[in-house]
Structure 1
Amino acid sequence: MANGLKRTPGFFDFIIIGAGVIGSATACYLKKALPESRILLIDRYHTAGAGNTAKSAALFRNFFSSRTNRLLAGSSISYYLEPGTKVQLDPTGYLWLFSKEQWNASRTAIHELDPEKNKFEILDRDRIADILGINYQAKGHFPDVNSGIFCHLCGSLSATALARHYASLFKSMGGEINFNTDIKEFIITGQNSCYAPWDNVFIDGIVDQKGNTYNAKEFIVATGAWTHDLLAPIGIASGILPKKRQLFALKIENNAGLLADSTSTIRPAIILPAGGVYIKPVFDKNIIIVGCADDLGQPFLMSDPEPDPLYFQRAIEPVLNHYFPELDFILSLKWAGYYDYHWPDMTPVIESVANLTWVGGTSGSGIMKADAIGRIAAARVQGHKEALLADGSKFRVSRLSLQDRDVEKEELII
């Protein structure tokens, strides 16, 4: 065989690269729709959801200003309620805090939402003080706490359990999975003519780290932060770029420094008004997980994968010390992963060229939208114009494409 490449037995109808939560969900719904098709799911790790999916804070919310994001997240959450304990779903709620300036900037978008339908309530400063032992005064770089939104249909789950849930369903329907398989190269027709415009250029196969080749009619790339590095060499501008995100687990002595009432059953995830810092409580283990959704400064590159303790000390710890001056903690764990961003709208991308489709650009909200994205991607590769979401709503597939994009600007950004 040319170039000494080895071929794997058989020929697939579809090959999906990436068994994170997005790729696994896509594989599941594609196999469900086409049970007779031979479908292969490939991942570089030893199990589903072991890459950046596993490094997520794994929070979910339905609270968005964009109708598109509300559809994607709301329908996905409605599905997650079914497996519930299997994916460790914990609907603790979100408490999103705003300074006076932030509230005035977001008020129009918030008042256009229906509190009953979208399951949230607006809190004033006194009501916030009933829940949190927080310093609400502004000082220096840290704005005041003026208002809050308590979002009821929000919380956390296990991202790896969710990915494995979809992968398990896929396999139970006869889907095939290859783990520990790292795709290094695409084999493209038309190389001899230098991709002349009259050639029918398409993906003929893919090559893994051992030189094995895999052939299929259709290929789906759901590799998240690796999408750009994988597709740029074959001439595809995916619209997706990686950015490093870091999380830190803090061991706390008790809840008194965070909650106003340590006996309260209200223990939500908290979004602070300074610098995109957020808190995920795991009070049964006396731990809180903190992160920061910063903007300018962090490169859109696959750079150093290790977490930086200085980042915590300089960008996150001062925020915690200001808003929760009585909170005692010890930094116990730290890890880093990558979000796959799509600018400028921070909404997922599902696009195709020839016989290749890529799915990504979830911009930090892939967990909360994965079910809907998987259904829409599966519909796209089947050539359907609409996808049926878990809550019964219909979604026009082309809305998430790059060429026929039709999404709204998101006004409520962490």
Structure 2
Amino acid sequence: MKALILDASRHTASVQDVSYPELGEGELLVKVHAVALNPVDALYVYHPLARTGRTVGSDFAGTVAAVSDSGIPSVQVGDRVAGFLQGACSSNERPGAFAEYVVCPADLVWRVPSSTTLEDASAVSLCALTAAQAVFFRLGLPAPFDWGRSEAADDARPLSFFIYGASSSVGLYAAQLIRHSAEAASRTVHLIGTASKARFPLLQAEPYSYDALVDYRERGWVQQVRSHSNDGFNYAFDCISEGPTVRQVSGLLRDGGRMAIVRSREGGAWEDGDLPVEPIYGAVWEGLGAEILYQNLVVPVSEDARRFAASFYRWLSSGAPVTPNPVRLMPGGLDKIVPDGFALLGSGSMEDRQRRRTEAWMKPISGEKLVYRIDEGGRDSQDQDSK
């Protein structure tokens, strides 16, 4: 089969012929129809952690081609599923998703409803789990599903929640999950976010329903955000976590407030030092339930995090009303992920992104996920399944 393989010495990746993956106990073989790009996919090709030969990529969606044994009643051959793998984002051996077939644990995929295309579904798994981990697992808001830990609101007073990077891939899911939490707990949440003004109409509408939005590019945006909360926010989620944003966002919290971020202090993306509130960080890879060497830290095995991830994906499989992020369908399949998709994502910060090419699909990214079709020369996967 074909897969996108890391060349660590040259800081790039190329499509190569490799052997089909082998099924292990409790695993599925999935024929991949679509993959979605995440910044970490490009970051660790341009700045490799892994050795040459690793398959790149995280998010995938496709159809189940085989199951390891009959003891997996929740998934059958032919089911449409989506999930995520770690790809070349660690220095220990982990499988990647940018290939024609992948093997993954059966409890770490979710069944894609008939109303959702596989292209849209491919953009959900990693970012939605990142948001769910922040909102429920780390910050402790009540979850709309049972995952083995009972969380309850301590009183009925309204909560205030601030999201920096509201139109980011993670931010779009976070807003939806916060609304679901409020509904499950019968509690009012006052939701404030930052984004560019062009994204205000999207964020003001369902399913995000922001109560107020501030343009992060305007001078004095911090004061504008503060004006929407009398004595600071109960919770904050910095979905960018670059430069001064962690410090700025932490300063918006009230006494006893809690804040989650998407990048670790060890990664060096944000300014260190004394902060009004210590941010809570945890890698999405915790959900894989394995020890992972990531950046300059070891992500230990966490049974809680694995149980949470499996429960969250069961909730998605049950038809949970979560709207996939907007996607930009990119041409060219696996061959174009590096020269086009990774050029758009850049090699690290938001500023390090391609802005000069003129092709329609190479316009700067804004509030959308880049998606590539893998199967059958790029024909629509739902059309494939119906034939």
TM superposition score normalised by structure 1 = 0.26
Larger radius of gyration: 1
Greater relative CO (CA pairs within 8 A, separation 6+)? 1
TM superposition score normalised by structure 2 = 0.28
